[in-house]
Amino acid sequence: TTVPSLEIIVSVASAFPGSDGNYSNEVPSSHFMPLIEAAHEHDLYVIIDLQPGRTDFLTQAKLYEDLLRLPYVGLALDPEWRLKPDQVHLRQIGQVEASEVNQVTEWLADLTREHNLPQKLFILHSFRTSMVQNVAELDVSRPELAYMMHVDGQGGHQAKHGTWRVLRDYASQIPYWGWKNFYDEDVPRMMTPQETMDQVDPTPLLITYQ
C-alpha cells in the first residue's frame, strides 16, 4: 500500500540568530493547522521537520506537541541544521548525539502511548555518518515508533548510492530506510520513480521529493 505524505519544515534554519539567539525560526504550530487538516482530508500522512539551530531537538519538538498529538502526524529531525554553540549554518554541517535523539524518541513514544495514538513515523535525516554521533547508542526499541533513517544526499546517482550503502552500514540497527530525490540538484537528472524502486537496494520504504 502506498501512503502519500507531506513533509513540512516547521522550524527553519536561519542565517541570523533571532531574538532567542538559536539561529532557528520556530513558526507557531497554529500556522500549519489548515495545511495539516487539508492534507488529512486528502488522506496524506504528515511529517513535521525540525531544523533547530543552536537549541536542542527535544526543546523544539515540545513546541509542536499539539501537532504530534494528531494520529496522522510524524516527526523528522534534521541534524544538518543542529549547531554547536560556536557554529552557524552553511559554514558547518550540523550533527547530533545519539543521546539527544533518544531523549526525543522517549518523549515522543510516551506521548504516543499516553494518548493511545497509532504508531508514529520517526525520521532521522542524514547524508554523512558524522551527522549522528555515537549511532550505536540509538535506542530503536519503542514499539510506539517506526524508526527510519532518511538518506537525503544530492548529486550524482553513483554518489547517492554510495552514501546509501555507507549509512546503512553505519546505522544498521535502524529498521526502516528512506530516500530523497532532488528535482534540481541531482545530476545529470533526477531518478524516475521506477528507477528509484528498481535500483535502490533495498527498496526504500519512504521516497521524498524536493
Q: How many domains is the chain partitioned into structurally? A: 1
* Residues 159, 106 contacting (CB under 8 angstroms): no
Q: Residue 191 sits in a domain of what CATH number?
A: 3.20.20
Question: What was the pLDDT predicted at 5?
Answer: 98
* Burial class (CB within 10 angstroms; exposed 0-12, middle 13-18, buried 19+) of 122: buried
For residue 20, what pLDDT is reported?
92
| pTM for the model | 0.95
Q: Which domain holds residue 74?
A: 5-209
Q: What is the pLDDT of residue 86?
A: 85
Using one digit for the tens of pLDDT, what is the confidence trace for 149-169?
A: 999 999 999 999 999 999 999
| Ordered alpha helix ranges (H), the chain | 33-41, 57-63, 65-68, 98-114, 157-170, 193-199
pLDDT of residue 110: 99
Summarised one tens digit per residue, pLDDT across range 15-65 is 999 999 999 999 999 999 999 999 999 999 999 999 999 999 999 999 999
Query: How far is residue 154's CA from residue 91's CA, in Å, rounded to a whole number?
Result: 18
Q: Is 198 helix (H, G, I), strand (E, B) or coil?
A: helix
